[in-house]
Amino acid sequence: MRIAFFTNNYLPRPSGVAHAIENLRIELENLGHDVFIFAPRYSKTDKENNKLFRYKSFRIHKKLGPLRSIPFPHSPKLKKQIKELNLDIIHSHHPYLLGKTAQKYARELNIPLILSLHTPYYQYLGHLIGNFGEAIDGLLLEIVSKYANKCNAIIVPTNTVKESLNKGNIIPPIYALPSGINLDMFKNIDKKNAKKKLNIDESKIILLTVGRLSYEKNIDFLIEAFYETNKILGGRDKNLDGRNNCHKNIKFIIVGGGSQRIKLQSISKSLGLKNIIIFAGKIPYNELPLYYNASDIFLYSSLIDTQGLTLCEAMASGLPIVSTDQAMGPQSLIKNDKIGYLVKPNIKVFSQRIIKLINSKEKREKFGENAKIEAKKYDRKILAKKLEKIYMTLVKK
């Protein structure tokens, strides 16, 4: 088959959606299909080739995270090329901007259109706007539903998201199909060697989180929980200084960049955690397995993720997880008291679960082994084959 992906987020700008799309592209091509990517051009140096096409984009407010660059969805040059590709199916990864372009060409070429909903737009902007969130969420669900009803099928990451979409009166079939990861990247890395390469003392227990440092990722909650953990385990005074009053054998690594970095560093400093919280910044994707495997516990507190690829990556690396239950992703992925703990967003309760894992190597290892088994469900090879079957059904119809 000849498949076109239309996406508002793609490499070289890293994000969960960008990596999910790239994993799909690789495995579908391994299955013998031709995959053409239509994505924004973020800079003049962004690569293009006979299977990767770029739409011009312009930058808006950086606090909007993945929405901060807007692709201009019209190009006479690309219009001609799209019509010459002899496509069998178009897969839109968004219901807006290039998603509208995908819809237009699917209609003109009379081929199936499939939509992947990676982000709950009907929750995302509501969180950012605040007081008017509920009204905005309802309006966005209606917009998403209208777009979805012009598609031939909808892909969502989990059954939880599928249930939430059912409120939108969507007619086409909805398939719960998670985004896949490259399991091989995260396996067979020795923890001792990983810690050594990152210059981490082998005796230290490392807590880790990976993700964009933006409002919806809720990293400040994790910092507060880490402060509470330290206060219980090793702190005597309110002002922990990272030397005398903190638990000497734990550190917290935060991997990722984003608009909230300065604010989060300021919070860490004000809580006296400057010396035991490490802001590692943006790490090349191929180096992430080293950080996962050098760590002992994975922390997660996103407000809205529908899946959370970093959860899958942590599981593949054999890490027990402590997560809040606000987002649909962890609700579906985390088996409570089997691969970790899924808790209400309460700092004291969250820190108590961290302490349970810190104090029990046996529990960390047991949860970690269970996590590796659970991660096999998210092998990109298996999930690409499932998507291939959906494509073939639509094309035959």
pLDDT in tens, 122-154: 555 555 555 555 556 667 778 888 999 999 999
pLDDT at 167 over 90: no
3: β partners: 35, 89
* pLDDT reported for residue 187: 84
**211 and 147 fall within a common domain:** no
Give just the sign of the alpha carbon dihedral 9, 111, 163, 334.
negative
Instruction: Please give the model's pTM, rounded to 2 decimal places.
Output: 0.89
**235 and 150 fall within a common domain:** no
**118 and 142 fall within a common domain:** yes
pLDDT in tens, 310-323: 999 999 999 999 99
**168 and 191 fall within a common domain:** no
**108 and 215 fall within a common domain:** no
| DSSP secondary structure letter of residue 60 | -
- Domain range enclosing 7: 2-180+379-396
pLDDT at 33 over 90: yes
The DSSP string of 160-177 is: HHHHHHGGG---S-EEE-
pLDDT in tens, 254-291: 999 998 999 999 999 999 998 899 999 999 999 999 99
**247 and 145 fall within a common domain:** no
Give Cβ neighbours of residue 198 (< 8 Å, ≥ 6 apart): 290, 291, 294
pLDDT in tens, 206-236: 999 999 998 889 999 999 999 999 988 875 4
How many domains is the chain built from? 2
* pLDDT reported for residue 239: 47
Q: Which residue has the higher pLDDT, 308 or 69?
A: 308
253 phi, psi to nearest 5 deg? -105, 130
Angle at 308 between CA 32 and CA 345, to 5 degrees: 170
**243 and 316 fall within a common domain:** yes
C-beta separation of 111 from 83 below 8 A: no
**259 and 319 fall within a common domain:** yes
Q: What is the CATH number of the domain that holds 11?
A: 3.40.50.2000
